[in-house]
Amino acid sequence: MPDTVAPNLVAAVSEARQWQRLMEMGELGGFRDADGHWGVNRACLTDNDRKSRRLLIRWAEEAGLTASIDQLGNLFLRHEGTDPTLAPVLTGSHMDSQPAGGRFDGIWGVIAGLEAVQALREAGVRTKRPIEVVAWTNEEGGRYAPGCMGSMAYAGYRPPETWDAVMDKDGIPFGQALAEHLKSEADIPRRPLGVVEGTAPFAYVEAHIEQGPTLESQDADIGIVTGIQGSRWFLVEITGKSDHAGTTPVGLRRDAVQDMVRAINALNTLMHDPTDTLRFTVASIEILPNSSNSVAQTARFTIDLRHPDNSILQPRGNAIEGVVQSAMRFCTAKVIERFHATPTVFHPMVPNAVEAAARAQGLRAIRLPSGAFHDAQFMHPLCPTGMIFVPCRGGVSHHPSEYSEPSELAAGARVLAQVLTDLANS
């Protein structure tokens, strides 16, 4: 990889344009929270998701890129290479958000990809390989669990119909929402899902805010991501019996909430980690009938378990079912695994290209792993993959107060522009 700056390319990256686009995207699903922070609720396959995609396509077409979508709704914007037969370099991220998310998680990687490609076109830089900017469907998993559906299907990790029956909170199945969505985008050319005729992308590069405190605390401009820790998601459903809260003696109850509390306590013991590396989270609980004077008949809760070491992630995850079952006193429990991403260590090609570009641009870059999962985790088996992180204030993410400076995001886009050019010419 060249270790020099392409000055015209770097100068063509527009901090103002990238910021303006991010702020415009932040209006779609945008809301102000009680503390005055501007958050975003842009769940996948909603009207706001569709509007954000149309906006992106408009900008991309104005810049000379060509749009296409696949059967999972993954959106691709293609910059043609001088040899269109070569495997493309892919860059991008996701446009959906958490229910009370920020303006940068995911969407910046897509906007940065467009900014980088537009800059290289405006600078008159030619690339041998095509470059495609991708917006993956449903990375967050907030409306439909799990996340990363688009990239998992693209990578052949799961068949595309795997999630058709998954319901959102309003009882709308994913398959139905996706069919309606694809109908609304019938005018956009279709492309086959995933890798066709064995032509995997040449490389995948995802730009993302760090979502953690490391870059800020170490005064670094750029994170060279070395890999992603593993994640497993489970849904636990506990079934008891609903009764009158005033008349039914406690000893006669089959109270789903009480057994849920016992299960979560037992899981906390199972997940105890003196090194504080393991991440165990219960963050979504659903109770039926959810009335203060009716004993709970059903309690459902989610588990998000993460660890960078597979030899810890696997046995702890595999023990969940047994621990939940042993905690049941009066109810029955069902445990379903919904997501399984093993820890990933990236091939050195992309991290090295990121390091070379950051160095050439005089930026301070450090290597670090990702605690969040990303679509890059599912691209990793297909082609050399890597990520570029930029700092975010206080390391905060998945919250309306999530924030990165326009200059920090511009630095990330400049590095991305150079990495894409270098990869697309090798």
Positions that interact with ligand GLV (CB under 6 A): 140, 147, 372-373
Round to whole Å and give the CA distance between 94 and 133.
11
Q: Residue 378 Cβ, how far from Mn ion at the closest point, in Å?
A: 13
Nearer to ligand GLV (CB atom), residue 331 or residue 392: 392
Minimal CB distance residue for ligand GLV: 372
Q: Which does 386 bind (CB under 5 to 8 A by kind): ligand GLV, Mn ion, none?
A: none
Q: Are strands 298-307 and 89-94 parallel, antiparallel or unpaired?
A: unpaired
Minimal CB distance residue for Mn ion: 106
Q: Answer whether the bond into residue 99 is a cis peptide, omega within 30°.
A: no
Round to whole Å and give the CA distance between 122 and 128.
16
Helix axes 406-424, 107-122, angle to 10 degrees: 60
Q: Residue 94 Cβ, how far from ligand GLV at the closest point, in Å?
A: 8
DSSP assignment, residue 124?
Answer: T
**Quick one: how far is CA 121 from the chain centroid?**
28
Helix axes 107-122, 15-25, angle to 10 degrees: 140
Q: Residue 372 Cβ, how far from ligand GLV at the closest point, in Å?
A: 3
Q: Which does 375 bind (CB under 5 to 8 A by kind): Mn ion, ligand GLV, none?
A: none
Q: Is the dihedral of CA 16, 17, 18, 22 positive or negative?
A: positive
Q: Which does 96 bind (CB under 5 to 8 A by kind): ligand GLV, Mn ion, none?
A: none
* Selected range binding Mn ion among 97-105, 116-124, 126-134, 413-421, rule: CB under 5 A: 97-105
Q: Residue 398 Cβ, how far from ligand GLV at the closest point, in Å?
A: 7
Of positions 96, 105, 168, 304, contacts Mn ion by CB under 5 A: 105
Round to whole Å and give the CA distance between 391 and 108.
12
Q: Judged by CB under 5 A, does residue 375 bind Mn ion? A: no
Q: Residue 139 Cβ, how far from Mn ion at the closest point, in Å?
A: 6
Q: Residue 106 Cβ, how far from Mn ion at the closest point, in Å?
A: 4
Round to whole Å and give the CA distance between 258 and 295.
10
Q: Which does 373 bind (CB under 5 to 8 A by kind): Mn ion, ligand GLV, none?
A: ligand GLV
Task: Give φ, ψ of 238 to 5 degrees.
Answer: -110, 130
Nearer to Mn ion (CB atom), residue 106 or residue 351: 106
Of positions 30, 73, 102, 106, contacts Mn ion by CB under 5 A: 106
Nearer to Mn ion (CB atom), residue 105 or residue 168: 105
Nearer to Mn ion (CB atom), residue 107 or residue 295: 107
Nearer to Mn ion (CB atom), residue 98 or residue 418: 98
Q: Of the candidates 365, 360, 394, 388, which has an alpha carbon nearest to the alpha carbon of residue 376? A: 388
Q: Answer whether the bond into residue 146 is a cis peptide, omega within 30°.
A: yes
Q: Which two tokens stand for residue 33?
A: 């929270």
Nearer to ligand GLV (CB atom), residue 147 or residue 240: 147
Alpha-carbon distance values, 403 to 94, 135, 213, 225, 399 (Å): 17, 21, 12, 20, 9
Nearer to ligand GLV (CB atom), residue 147 or residue 150: 147
Q: Residue 144 Cβ, how far from ligand GLV at the closest point, in Å?
A: 13
- Residues interacting with Mn ion, by CB under 5 A? 105-106
